Amino acid sequence: MNHTIASAALDALQQWGNHPCLVELRDAKNALPVSADELRRRILDASAQLSRWGLQRGTLVALFLENSIDFVVILLALVRLKAVPVFGKLEYRTLELNEVFENSNPPVVISEQHHLSLLEPYLRGRTVISRTDQAVRLVQQRAEPAEPADLADEVASVNYTYRGYGYPLGALVSHQQYLDGARVLQEEGLQAASGDRMLYSIPMSHIFTLVGCIMVPLLYGLTGIIARTIHPRVLFDAIDELRIQHVTAVPELYALLRRAAGDSTQLPSLQAFVCGGSVLSDSEYHALRETFGVEVLHGYGLTEFTPVSRNSRGKARAGTVGPVCQGVECRIDSKDGSAAGEILVRTGSMSAGYYRRPRESRQSRAGDWLRTGDIGHFDGDHLVFDAEVKLTCKVNGVIVDLEEIRRALCLDPDIADAIVRAHQNSVEAEIVPARHFALNEKISQIRASLKQLLAPYKVPKTINLQR
């Protein structure tokens, strides 16, 4: 392997000079730019500082960070040291955090300062580094150096995802996946010009953002505009004032922008909406094109490998996730002879499996093919996503494990069992009571309990007794 993602990014930044490469939108009127030279210097300085704090090759580092320039600096500094980022989500609560910390047992945690109180039960015996907008500082340090994780050098990060087991799985994502994914998204999909600007507000811990919004701009000379909000007016103002050409987001955010756009919303700089994470309907595709006058480039991928397919400039089609990417093999595993079946993919740079989960790693494979757990079919050379067969769904573009929610519900001694289903960008649950109780009062208690156990977007929108 010629490059890690850090060396590739640092090499690319060295060619930029003083050109602005990142702009952080802290609020509606506060934009913080950083030049390529400055970003490169900050990555090198952060590497040196993290090394002094004991981080080294093979150190697993749990990250709980908001969208910011610091996120990019810390990520690339860690990888430069050959430490291994473990991406957590700020929304994670007890069940998710228990699994992440028990599974990966990271000796180092880097977190937003305000988030440390929630993580406090997991911090004993670990090096803890906090971040605010003002500084990154050492909060506590392990008494002894950590043993390096037993991971191949090709592993860039551990990215938690779901396959319907009821707990997150740490996918081992390679450097080559990041680099191949960025190349495909840019060269075959977006085809942006050097100097263009890309806006994104989806969480940077997601694989879609890591590949499409961090690596693509850094490697191909785009200025990345990092937003901390999804408020339409803030985003519209940023697009107008900064003359942004491209936006990368999930379908649900584009739908929000479309609903908020009025007849007076004029954004002449816009050229393309890059879209992924969940299903984009035919009607929404056409509505976005009509409202904003842009190309809509919808694609498909997984944490284990992204992208699998993508629509390209000038060739996009509604209702599809585009042709399969160069370097990726894809076939449909149909059990009944029909055109639709499980999507299987194979590529030299897809995830090698799940950290410390050999059974789940084996079950995700059919020989050397990755079983995506998704149903699809081909329409000509374009792949069409039909449904998920695994016990997961998407809520606002974020994968949700239905079995995990069922497990959380069944921790209540008054609930004997539960059925959890996807329902219109949310989830709904039917519970089987273990004994009689007052339903309305009990549902309030259930919701309060679930908010302590799970990310808030996983709490069922409706909870009823099983019919």
How far is the C-alpha of 192 from the C-alpha of 245, rounded, in Å?
9
From the list 297, 320, 322, the residue with the least C-alpha distance to 309 is 322
| In a domain? residue 25 | no
| In a domain? residue 72 | yes
How far is the C-alpha of 263 from the C-alpha of 250, rounded, in Å?
23
- Number of domains composing the chain: 3
| In a domain? residue 23 | no
- Angle of CA points 305, 306, 310, to nearest 5°: 135
Q: Check: CB of residue 8 under 8 Å from CB of residue 219.
A: yes
Whether residues 296 and 220 fall in one domain: yes
Whether residues 181 and 286 fall in one domain: yes
How far is the C-alpha of 271 from the C-alpha of 321, rounded, in Å?
19
Whether residues 84 and 219 fall in one domain: no
Whether residues 358 and 216 fall in one domain: yes
Report the CATH number that the domain containing residue 115 is assigned in CATH. Answer: 3.40.50.980
The position carrying tokens 């030279």 is: 37
Prediction pTM value: 0.95
Whether residues 419 and 374 fall in one domain: no
Which of 366, 388, 410 finishes a domain? 388
Tens digit of each residue's pLDDT (9 = 90 or more) over 129-139: 999 999 999 99
Whether residues 364 and 426 fall in one domain: no
| In a domain? residue 458 | yes
Quote the radius of gyration of the chain (alpha carbons, Å).
22
Whether residues 242 and 346 fall in one domain: yes
How far is the C-alpha of 34 from the C-alpha of 320, rounded, in Å?
37
Alpha-carbon 120 to chain mean position? 24
Which of 171, 188, 213 finishes a domain? 171
| In a domain? residue 430 | yes
Q: What pLDDT was estimated at residue 28?
A: 62
Q: What pLDDT was estimated at residue 117?
A: 98
Domain that holds residue 53: 5-18+30-171
Whether residues 360 and 405 fall in one domain: no
Whether residues 120 and 62 fall in one domain: yes
Q: What pLDDT was estimated at residue 336?
A: 83
Report the CATH number that the domain containing residue 224 is assigned in CATH. Answer: 3.40.50.12780
Whether residues 75 and 217 fall in one domain: no
| In a domain? residue 406 | yes
From the list 413, 396, 412, the residue with the least C-alpha distance to 455 is 396
How far is the C-alpha of 401 from the C-alpha of 391, rounded, in Å?
6
Which of 123, 147, 171 finishes a domain? 171
Q: What pLDDT was estimated at residue 2?
A: 61
Q: What pLDDT was estimated at residue 337?
A: 80
Whether residues 291 and 235 fall in one domain: yes
Q: Check: CB of residue 316 under 8 Å from CB of residue 183.
A: no
pLDDT (tens, 9 = 90+) of the chain, 467 residues, equals 468 999 999 999 999 888 899 999 977 678 899 999 999 999 999 999 999 999 999 999 999 999 999 999 999 999 999 999 999 999 999 999 999 999 999 999 999 999 999 999 999 999 999 999 999 999 999 988 889 999 999 999 999 999 999 999 999 999 999 999 999 999 999 999 999 999 999 999 999 999 999 999 999 999 999 999 999 999 999 999 999 999 999 999 999 999 999 877 889 999 999 999 999 999 999 999 999 999 999 999 999 999 999 999 999 999 999 999 999 999 999 988 889 999 999 998 889 999 999 999 999 999 999 999 999 999 999 999 999 989 999 998 899 999 999 999 999 999 999 999 998 889 999 999 998 888 888 999 999 999 999 999 999 999 998 86
Q: What pLDDT was estimated at residue 1?
A: 46
Q: What pLDDT was estimated at residue 42?
A: 98
Whether residues 184 and 330 fall in one domain: yes
| In a domain? residue 24 | no
